[in-house]
Structure formats: C-alpha cells, structure tokens
Amino acid sequence: MKVIQTCAFGEDYEEKKVQWKVNGKLETTTLGFCLRRLFEQCFNRFLKPQVFLFPELIPHFRLSGDSDIVDNALLVRRQIREMIQDRRAGRTKSRFEGTDLLSILLSNEIF
C-alpha cells in the first residue's frame, strides 16, 4: 500500500490517522488500513452469490454490512479530498514533485 500511496499522492500516508466505521461505530485507524480494508470489502461484496448471480439488481438493494462499506468509502473520500485541498493550498508538498499522480493532476488547469 505504501507504493500505491506514494505513486498517487507523493507521500506515504500509511500512518495517517483517520476515522473508520466498524459495525456502526467509529474507530480511529490508519489510512493505509482503511484503503486495504475498503478494497477488500468492495471486492468481497461482488463475490456474494446474490450479487454474482443477479448483477443487474446491485443498485436496487443493500446487503448486510453494505452501510458500513458506503460510510467508509465516504470517510476515505473525505480524507483524500482534504489531502488534495492541502496540496492545492500549499500546506503540504510532495517528496516527488511532478512525478506523482496528484502533482500531475494539480498542474493541469482543468483539475
């Protein structure tokens, strides 16, 4: 996860503390853990028989545990948005200026 975070954000945010929802309760953990678990939960959801057999119904129903997945996706998205805003405002800087994905996107006037 460190390599992916460094390529995407230009920094290793592995130990950055973030909020994470487990069984409806907020806990504090690291961003690296959140990204790994969120990917795992989303992937495992698609392996459930009802999703695998009836993919056209995915947008119309939620399975048990889906609310935590959705909430955690929103929490991680908010953390990443904050990292982008910090970089845009100059509060943080990439160790690999111009070569990480976030630096490339921020240097484009459309982004």
Q: What are phi and psi of 28, to 5 degrees?
A: -100, 130
The confidence score (pLDDT) of residue 58 equals 76
pLDDT tens string 8-67 = 666 666 667 888 888 888 899 888 888 888 889 888 888 888 777 888 877 777 777 788
The confidence score (pLDDT) of residue 33 equals 86
pLDDT at 107 over 80: no
In a domain, 39, yes or no: yes
Tokens of 57: 């119904």
In degrees, rounded to 5, the angle at the alpha carbon of residue 21 between the alpha carbons of residues 15 and 25 is: 125
In a domain, 66, yes or no: yes
In a domain, 12, yes or no: yes
In a domain, 109, yes or no: no
For the chain, how many structural domains are there in total? 1
Question: How far apart (Å, rounded) are the C-alpha atoms in residues 41 and 65?
Answer: 9
Question: What one-character-per-residue DSSP string does 26-83 give?
Answer: EEEEEHHHHHHHHHHHHHHHTTSHHHHH-GGGGGG---TTHHHHHHHHHHHHHHHHHH
pTM surpassing 0.75? no
In a domain, 8, yes or no: yes
Enclosing domain of residue 90: 2-104
In a domain, 110, yes or no: no
Q: What is the mean pLDDT of residues 88-111?
A: 72
In a domain, 90, yes or no: yes
